[in-house]
Amino acid sequence: MKLIVQIPCLNEEATLAATIRAIPREVAGVGRVEILVVDDGSTDRTSDVAREAGADYVVRHTHNRGLARAFRTGLDACLKLGADVIVNTDADNQYDAGAIPRLIAPVLAGAADIVIGDRQTREVAHFSVTKRGLQAVGSAVVRRLSGVEVPDTVSGFRALSRDAALQMNIVSPFSYTIEMLIQAGSKNLAVTSIPVATNAPTRPSRLFRNIGHFLTQSGLTMVRMYTMYRPLTTFWYIGVALVLLGTIPIARFLVFWLQGNGSGHVQSLVLGGAFLTIGFVTLLIGLLADLVNFNRQLIEVTLEKVRRLEYRAHADAGAEPGVSESVTEDAGTHAPWEPQRGEKRARFQ
């Protein structure tokens, strides 16, 4: 049983070493604990610090691609390295690494596919009242959209089983937290949470510039992901609303027409007809989007099978990769691993 702790990071030379040192190297029920750092195009010594601090693997983007893509790169790397359980944590040492054994316990027991570390944001002293309120409202919205009942939906401290990681297809450019839960709900994965402690902040968040930027990006992510995984429901609500709006002016016209005064209210008929037409077109778009959604599901099934084949191929080969110098994600190709242990080279395919 292998556990890999992945750490996406950008310019974290000041905090990364402490984060790595805090990760327990022996966990009950796990034969091996390894650490993988995903350097998302840092311009400082992040990669060097990771190696010096004892990271087993370092994967580096040639330039910054964002947290969600760094997370996705980490998942792919962990799977190809033979991880049975994957834990994601932040590079700023926000989360208590001592909670990792409790975090992965439901996965090891087969009781959950994904476990989220609940920061208990209402009790975090350095969270402002505004931030606590936004966390509560945002988490409630995500729970409603995803159908997954976890209290802290944007916590980055989470554990995944290998099967859950194989099914994750993160496409959002902003953050993976919301999208993962919507996907998990859509795929009927078992998701739970455990309370975890947090450390004092070491720096301001780099994921967003301000609260307005965070709300905008999070809102767009929710809309995109919900529409992607629930297209018929999304367009059904919009289409029905437009149809109902269209019936109001048409009903008004009919009332006047029955009273013999319809000629002066043709505008209502035109307006209502326009709304009805747009509403019916929206419903048709929903049907088409739902068909596209089924096609996407077939593609995801194919991708999952390819990932499983890659995982088995790497396991059968018994390759022991070490440190990767760079990853060119857009082209889908990866630079050779530089072995840290032994002399055998391997490649990401």
Tens of pLDDT, residue by residue, the chain (349 residues)? 899 999 999 999 999 999 999 999 999 989 999 999 999 999 999 999 999 999 999 999 988 888 889 999 999 999 988 899 999 999 988 899 999 999 999 999 999 999 999 988 776 665 667 666 777 787 888 888 888 888 888 888 999 999 999 999 888 877 788 889 999 998 999 999 999 988 766 555 555 556 777 678 778 878 888 888 889 988 999 999 999 999 999 998 888 888 877 777 788 889 999 999 999 999 999 999 989 888 888 888 888 888 888 777 766 666 554 444 444 443 333 333 333 433 333 333 3
Q: How many angstroms separate the CA atoms of 272 and 240, rounded?
A: 13
Instruction: Name the helix (H) or strand (E) containing 7.
Output: strand 2-9
> Tell me, what's the pLDDT at 147?
84
> Tell me, what's the pLDDT at 202?
59
> Tell me, what's the pLDDT at 119?
83
> Tell me, what's the pLDDT at 35?
96
Asked if residues 268 and 253 have their Cβ atoms less than 8 Å apart, the reply is yes
> Tell me, what's the pLDDT at 84?
93
Pairing of strands 327-328, 333-334: antiparallel
32-to-23, 35, 81, 89, 90 alpha-carbon distances in Å: 13, 10, 12, 18, 21
Judge if pTM exceeds 0.85: no
Domain boundaries, the chain: 2-229+319-338, 231-294
Q: How many angstroms separate the CA atoms of 331 and 199, rounded?
A: 38
> Tell me, what's the pLDDT at 131?
67
> Tell me, what's the pLDDT at 164?
94
User: What are the backbone angles phi and psi of residue 238, rounded to the nearest 5°?
Assistant: -65, -45
Across-strand partners of 4? 34, 86
Q: Which fold, 2-229+319-338?
A: Spore Coat Polysaccharide Biosynthesis Protein SpsA; Chain A (3.90.550)
Query: Residues 82-106: pLDDT tens digits?
Result: 899 999 999 988 899 999 999 999 9
Q: How many angstroms separate the CA atoms of 195 and 295, rounded?
A: 38
> Tell me, what's the pLDDT at 53?
93
The token duo for 107 is 């996965």
